Amino acid sequence: MLLLTQAKSIGRLARPLSRSLYSGLIPLRPWARPFTITSRAAAKLDLPALDLKWRKRWAQLQQVQKDKTKDKVDKYILPMFPYPSGYLHLGHLRVYTIADAIARYNALRGHNVLLPMGWDAFGLPAENAAIERSINPATWTKDNIARMKEQLQMMNGSWDWEREIATCDPSFYKHTQKIFLLLHQHGLAYRTEAEVNYDPVDKTVLANEQVDANGCSWRSGAKVEKRKLNQWFLRISAFREALLDDLELLAKDEAWPERVLAMQRNWLGKSKGATIKFPILAYDQDVHAAIEVYTSRPDTLFGVQYLALAATHPIVTKLAETDPELQAFLDTLPGLPPDSKVGYMLPHIRAINPLAYHPDTPDATKQSLPIYVAPYVIGDYGEGAVMGVPAHDARDHAFWRTHRGDEPVRYVLASNEDESTTVIPNEPFLDHGIMTAHSGPYKGKPSQEAGEMLVKMLAEAGLAKPVEKWRLRDWLISRQRYWGTPIPIVHCASCGEVPVPDEQLPVLLPEVDAHWAGKKTGNPLETLDEWVNTECPKCHGPAKRDTDTMDTFVDSSWYYMRFIDPHNEAGPFDPQKARDMLPVDIYIGGIEHAILHLLYARFIYKFLMTSPLFPTSSASERHEPFKRLITQGMVHGRTFTDPATGRFLKPDELDLSDPANPRIKATGTKPNVTYEKMSKSKHNGVDPTAVIATHGADATRAHMLFQAPVGDVLDWDGDKIVGVTRWLSRVHDLVEKVTSTAPSPDYDFPTPKAYFESLAPRLSSLGEAELKQYDANSALWRTTQTTIASVSQSYEKVYPLNTVISDLMQLTNTLSDTLSCATPQIAREAVSILIRLMAPVTPAVAEECWSVLEPTSSGLFASEEGARWPERDGSEAVLRERKMKCAVQVNGKVRAVCEIGIAPEGLEGDKLREFVVGEIMKQDEHRQSLTRLTETASDSF
Ligand SMILES: [Zn+2]
């Protein structure tokens, strides 16, 4: 499920470069010049009132436009859908603001945009809350959805609520069951007994991916137990080649972040290696003749110093029957961390390195090897046996040191031929390299080549086999919980597993009110006889329903396909609509979903796109559900701690009357201020709806985007939002000014470009007043043109959305500075462009301004009659600056910076020098100071 909490960030998130905002300087791209926000007083806009006004109009507009644009979608923008916890938090607001800004930008560009919203509504929190409150999880979930929808509607998002879905709705999970049965029909959903991770607190089975490195549940934090149960799996392994190969597609043009691609690649974990047989020497033991190990490093075979077996290896099970000490050791293993270095050396049994049979093998490698039982060997990976190479593997090295102390390790390869320079005592050498003298006849060979030769030689003797391994396991989807999609299978004593027939779908979750009222734990489906006992669809004899429900990642693996056809009763979606609207163009969400959700979604998409649900698709086509992936950073909250005790302080313990100088009320001292992940225990949470109610949605959205690049952590400081509020008021003022100024009668004025073109050839003939106006016009229009380019590019790239706001503030400043001199028509056009450029981020203020500027328009966002995205007009070529800056150096020191006229073309050498000096000397101020300086200096400038 897509919990957009602030939790679980994977990997390091970059810090924002600058957050010294509103104190004057704006964070800028390197090539932009700094500027200050002038604190000119502006009439205060009632931003929350504007939100209400325009939301109402947009809702009416949506009704009118609905039928026109339906199913003509050509841009599908999707933020990961939320888990309905009941409370919108700032992390949600951030991702939905990004999504809406990108959606509105594309709409203004003329696209038919799909921006849907739904709810990832199954899952454990609802069930736990239901038990706690003695209510049905459906009731709890529906209430939460209603509350969150209300909060979400406050943010001025352009969501298509007609397509709203909830995964817990039978009209949705009917199709989750259909997809499951389709997988089952293709042999891609199967049930088998497996050792599973069992969470004793949540009383459910977890996927391997949901168990952390310490062997604890990702959700409850409980120590996970191993149990053997009959479980449902989805055969994701059947798609592993495509899942790996198609990452190449996603790497093109940085469509997906490299970090996510690397995590996916690593999770799939394809490696090439070999299984190698180690013959066994056993004294009085009836065991296999050989132990087969898997290794990805056959080049280290000369360096094997022990073998290690998993606790579940058949030899271990066999020996434990007659070795009480071994059995006692095995009994201690559950509960140990997976990286534990404990081990038990099996007595009376040793192994032989298969290379020992070769006459040229050095004696050290020919010696027999001890065999350990060690929990660090995982039962289901490879053969449940590994070869221990302490000189060339970090884990093996640590194990060796624990059990063999200082006993030397054998380095069989080094980074170059001079071994002495590469081997660091007491450290394993992990890279590939050159074989050493310990490798006998292979000395001096590159290790990868030697490894391949060794496997080939042993394979000829029947002692090795080259193999390919994957880290990816099949996807365990069974959950022994109530609040999920029921598995649509009936178990019949004579027919076996029987799919529930299509006309009987959905298999509905039964009402179990007594279960909630009684605050019982466990899966109520297992004990509900009237639900479990049913008729076999095949033989009509008595049968039992499967009582497992599906992992919620199954729901989220296909929900984005449902949005294209959410009311389809017959199937998950219509193939024609899938062809028209899929895949998703831009998918936006947290990096915490970089592995599981995205991998599962890619798998199910690849399956469905080649299934009967999508019959005409060609098999050779490569199918990926999300063309572009944007991962946004977390939002951190301002956190106060007592410097004396380190205790987190509550807001009411602080005097925040002077935001720059907070004090602890009780002591009058300064608290420590940091930005941290928001949590109840740190008292640093911020309710986005309160911020919106105070400042309006537009200022909140703009502030949110402005504070940090999309991919970075955002340190939320609500005090600084006034800077954006002031900017919005200034824009509104500008609109009123340009609409109240009469157009200039002086020029024939088709377009700004025509004006510049008509004046360019006769600039030298203009009078002083006209030139002053020309300069103001050209400065304003140049900034307008570069702003169109930079802002459009930022919307396209998404990650630099923060610079949209700073660029627009800069254009606002240029407008303010040039307004008194510029031609009214040009100023008006520049304001019109400013409004359209800001509209994706601040839609209500932009609509308000647009209605003043274009009172007859049906609105910025009216799809056909609405505004269009501004494009550059190509006027840059004629927009020559009439002045240039010139630094004057005297004896190597800059003495003055003068603005001078631009030299006529073709001027060079002494003539150019004469022109420049003449220009400078025209200006009294420079003439005087420079004359003084040059009188005392030996060199002139
Ligand atoms: Zn039957």
Contact between 366 and 346 under an 8 Å Cβ cutoff? The reply is: no
445 and 312 share a domain? yes
Domain boundary among 853, 874, 908: 853
For ligand 1, the distance from its centroid to the CA atom of residue 538, given in whole angstroms, is 5
Q: Which residue has the higher pLDDT, 826 or 125?
A: 826
70 falls in which pLDDT band (50, 70, 90)? Answer: low
For ligand 1, the distance from its centroid to the CA atom of residue 506, given in whole angstroms, is 20
For ligand 1, the distance from its centroid to the CA atom of residue 487, given in whole angstroms, is 17
The verdict on residue 893 lying in a domain is yes
3-state secondary structure 726-789: HHHHHHHHHHHHHHHCCCCCCCCCCCHHHHHHHHHHHHHHCCHHHHHHHHHHHHHHHHHHHHHH
For ligand 1, the distance from its centroid to the CA atom of residue 497, given in whole angstroms, is 9
Q: Which residue has the higher pLDDT, 212 or 722?
A: 722
Distances from the Cα of 209 to the Cα of 215, 311, 595, angstroms: 11, 21, 9
Contact between 689 and 154 under an 8 Å Cβ cutoff? The reply is: yes
Crossing angle (nearest 10°) for helices 137-153 and 124-133: 110
3-state secondary structure 145-177: HHHHHHHHHCCCCCCEEEEEEECCCHHHHHHHH
For ligand 1, the distance from its centroid to the CA atom of residue 474, given in whole angstroms, is 28
For ligand 1, the distance from its centroid to the CA atom of residue 549, given in whole angstroms, is 22
pLDDT at residue 538, rounded to an integer: 96
410 and 278 share a domain? yes
For ligand 1, the distance from its centroid to the CA atom of residue 491, given in whole angstroms, is 8
For ligand 1, the distance from its centroid to the CA atom of residue 542, given in whole angstroms, is 7
For ligand 1, the distance from its centroid to the CA atom of residue 541, given in whole angstroms, is 6
The C-alpha atoms of residue 56 and residue 159 are separated, in whole angstroms, by 14
760 and 902 share a domain? no
B/e letters for 285-310, b = 16+ CB within 10 Å, e = fewer, are bebeeebbbbbebbbbbbbbbbbbbb
344 and 448 share a domain? yes
The C-alpha atoms of residue 322 and residue 303 are separated, in whole angstroms, by 32
The verdict on residue 386 lying in a domain is yes
For ligand 1, the distance from its centroid to the CA atom of residue 500, given in whole angstroms, is 12
Cis peptide before 506 (omega within 30 of 0): yes
Average pLDDT over residues 76-93: 94
> Nearest Cα to 514, choosing from 136, 805, 143?
136
pLDDT at residue 17, rounded to an integer: 30
Domain boundary among 837, 853, 869: 853
Kindly list the protein residues that place their beta carbon closer than 5 angstroms to ligand 1, a single-atom ion. 492, 494-495, 536, 538-539
DSSP label at residue 25: B
914 falls in which pLDDT band (50, 70, 90)? Answer: confident
C-alpha count within 13 angstroms, C-beta hemisphere, residue 385: 21
For ligand 1, the distance from its centroid to the CA atom of residue 264, given in whole angstroms, is 42
For ligand 1, the distance from its centroid to the CA atom of residue 193, given in whole angstroms, is 22
529 falls in which pLDDT band (50, 70, 90)? Answer: very high
User: What mean pLDDT is reported for the chain?
Assistant: 86
314 and 356 share a domain? yes
The verdict on residue 397 lying in a domain is yes
- Among 196-210, 518-532, 882-896, top mean pLDDT goes to 518-532
For ligand 1, the distance from its centroid to the CA atom of residue 356, given in whole angstroms, is 58
Neighbours of 472 (CB within 10 A): 19
Average pLDDT over residues 21-35: 31
pLDDT at residue 303, rounded to an integer: 95
Residue 551 structure tokens: 């992992």
The C-alpha atoms of residue 51 and residue 212 are separated, in whole angstroms, by 44
For ligand 1, the distance from its centroid to the CA atom of residue 495, given in whole angstroms, is 4
For ligand 1, the distance from its centroid to the CA atom of residue 534, given in whole angstroms, is 11
For ligand 1, the distance from its centroid to the CA atom of residue 532, given in whole angstroms, is 15
Residue 59 structure tokens: 């809702």
Q: Is the pLDDT of residue 49 over 80?
A: yes
817 and 902 share a domain? no
Cis peptide before 583 (omega within 30 of 0): yes
The C-alpha atoms of residue 12 and residue 713 are separated, in whole angstroms, by 10
- For 672-716, the pLDDT digits (tens) are 999 988 888 888 888 899 999 999 999 999 999 999 999 999 999
Number of domains forming the structure of the chain? 3
The verdict on residue 812 lying in a domain is yes
pLDDT at residue 25, rounded to an integer: 31
The C-alpha atoms of residue 413 and residue 430 are separated, in whole angstroms, by 9
424 and 296 share a domain? yes
422 and 287 share a domain? yes
For ligand 1, the distance from its centroid to the CA atom of residue 647, given in whole angstroms, is 64
The verdict on residue 423 lying in a domain is yes
Q: What is the CATH number of the domain that holds 377?
A: 3.90.740.10
The enclosing H or E element of 935 equals: helix 924-936
- For 805-821, the pLDDT digits (tens) are 999 999 999 999 999 99
For ligand 1, the distance from its centroid to the CA atom of residue 478, given in whole angstroms, is 23
The verdict on residue 916 lying in a domain is yes
385 and 460 share a domain? yes
Handedness of CA 689, 18, 12, 263 (dihedral sign): positive
For ligand 1, the distance from its centroid to the CA atom of residue 490, given in whole angstroms, is 9
Contact between 691 and 97 under an 8 Å Cβ cutoff? The reply is: no
The enclosing H or E element of 635 equals: strand 635-641
Task: Give me the domain span that covers residue 768.
Answer: 742-853
Contacts of 505 (CB under 8 A, 6+ apart): 174, 177, 178, 488
pLDDT at residue 238, rounded to an integer: 96
For ligand 1, the distance from its centroid to the CA atom of residue 364, given in whole angstroms, is 63
For ligand 1, the distance from its centroid to the CA atom of residue 492, given in whole angstroms, is 5
| Matching residue, tokens 């704006």 | 26
Q: Is the pLDDT of residue 20 over 50?
A: no
The C-alpha atoms of residue 157 and residue 97 are separated, in whole angstroms, by 7
821 and 902 share a domain? no
Q: Is the pLDDT of residue 617 over 70?
A: no
Domain boundary among 447, 470, 493: 470
For ligand 1, the distance from its centroid to the CA atom of residue 373, given in whole angstroms, is 45
The verdict on residue 541 lying in a domain is no
Contact between 788 and 812 under an 8 Å Cβ cutoff? The reply is: no
The verdict on residue 545 lying in a domain is no
845 and 911 share a domain? no
- For 734-788, the pLDDT digits (tens) are 999 999 887 776 666 788 998 888 888 888 888 888 889 999 999 999 999 999 9
DSSP 34-85: P-B------PPP-HHHHHHHHHHHHHHHHHHHHHHHTT---EEEEEPPPP--
For ligand 1, the distance from its centroid to the CA atom of residue 540, given in whole angstroms, is 6
Give the rounded percent of residues in the chain with a pLDDT score beyond 70: 88
For ligand 1, the distance from its centroid to the CA atom of residue 570, given in whole angstroms, is 26
The C-alpha atoms of residue 95 and residue 77 are separated, in whole angstroms, by 12
For ligand 1, the distance from its centroid to the CA atom of residue 567, given in whole angstroms, is 34
The C-alpha atoms of residue 614 and residue 583 are separated, in whole angstroms, by 13
Q: Is the pLDDT of residue 902 over 80?
A: no
Q: Is the pLDDT of residue 451 over 80?
A: yes
For ligand 1, the distance from its centroid to the CA atom of residue 489, given in whole angstroms, is 12
353 and 410 share a domain? yes
Contact between 561 and 605 under an 8 Å Cβ cutoff? The reply is: yes
For ligand 1, the distance from its centroid to the CA atom of residue 230, given in whole angstroms, is 20
